[in-house]
């Protein structure tokens, strides 16, 4: 298991998100308990942007409050892979010391989706402030070198989410606007990696 997000971050810095996360065990050791990542059903929260998502809010220390798309245009969806188990990634987003977040996390086994940051706000996920301001970040449970994590359920659920985002903000459903973290300028990351099936994913997004 690789080391993930941890360390200091300020919104204007081009920092590696992979360097901004510690392993999930470290997050839990820091005091983020399992009870903190249960979240609440979307119907009870009343705040999710994507129907059916579960609201599991990130710490307010881990994103920038905004009013997109009025404050910044939204024209990119960035695809990530957590390099963590689903609950550990959520726990890290809820730890105010981590200074990292994404808008959504998709669970591998069943495609369940958690929303952790409102789409109008700026999640700290891309490692590039310009891209943070104009993108939605979607994390996927798994590891880049273990393709078994990229299940049918994960692809289907994520593609439906991306399709919804693109439809709502007028984002073209193509590979110039739906990109991997590796494609963010200045990125040092490889996710979603060579095992991510872009042909299949884009077909699903456009179905």
Active site residues: 139
Rounded Cα distance, 140 and 155, in Å: 9
Say if CB 75 and CB 134 are below 8 A apart. yes
Q: Which residues pair with 122 in a beta bridge?
A: 64
- The CA-based angle 82-23-132, given to 5 degrees, is 45
Rounded Cα distance, 7 and 20, in Å: 5
Say if CB 98 and CB 20 are below 8 A apart. yes
Exposed e or buried b per residue across 146-173, where buried means at least 16 C-beta atoms within 10 angstroms of its C-beta:
eeebbbeebbebbbbbbbebbeebebeb
Say if CB 79 and CB 179 are below 8 A apart. yes
């Amino acid at each position: 298991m690789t080391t993930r997000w941890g360390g200091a971050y300020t919104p204007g810095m081009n920092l590696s998100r992979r360097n901004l996360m510690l392993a999930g065990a470290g997050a839990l050791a820091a005091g983020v308990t399992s009870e903190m990542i249960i979240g609440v059903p979307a119907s009870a929260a009343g705040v999710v942007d994507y129907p059916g998502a579960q609201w599991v809010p990130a710490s307010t220390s881990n994103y920038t409050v905004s009013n997109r798309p009025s404050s910044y245009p939204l024209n990119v969806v960035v695809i990530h892979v957590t390099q963590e188990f689903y609950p550990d990634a959520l726990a890290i987003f809820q730890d105010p010391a981590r200074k990292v977040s994404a808008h959504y996390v998709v669970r591998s086994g069943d495609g369940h989706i958690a929303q952790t940051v409102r789409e109008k706000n700026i999640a700290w996920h891309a490692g590039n402030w310009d891209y943070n301001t104009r993108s939605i970040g979607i994390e996927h449970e798994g590891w880049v070198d273990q393709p078994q994590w990229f299940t049918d359920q994960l692809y289907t659920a994520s593609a439906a989410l991306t399709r919804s985002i693109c439809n709502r903000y007028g984002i073209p459903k193509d590979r110039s606007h739906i990109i991997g973290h590796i494609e963010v300028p200045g990125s040092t990351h490889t996710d979603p990696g060579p095992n991510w099936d872009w042909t299949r994913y884009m077909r699903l997004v456009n179905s």
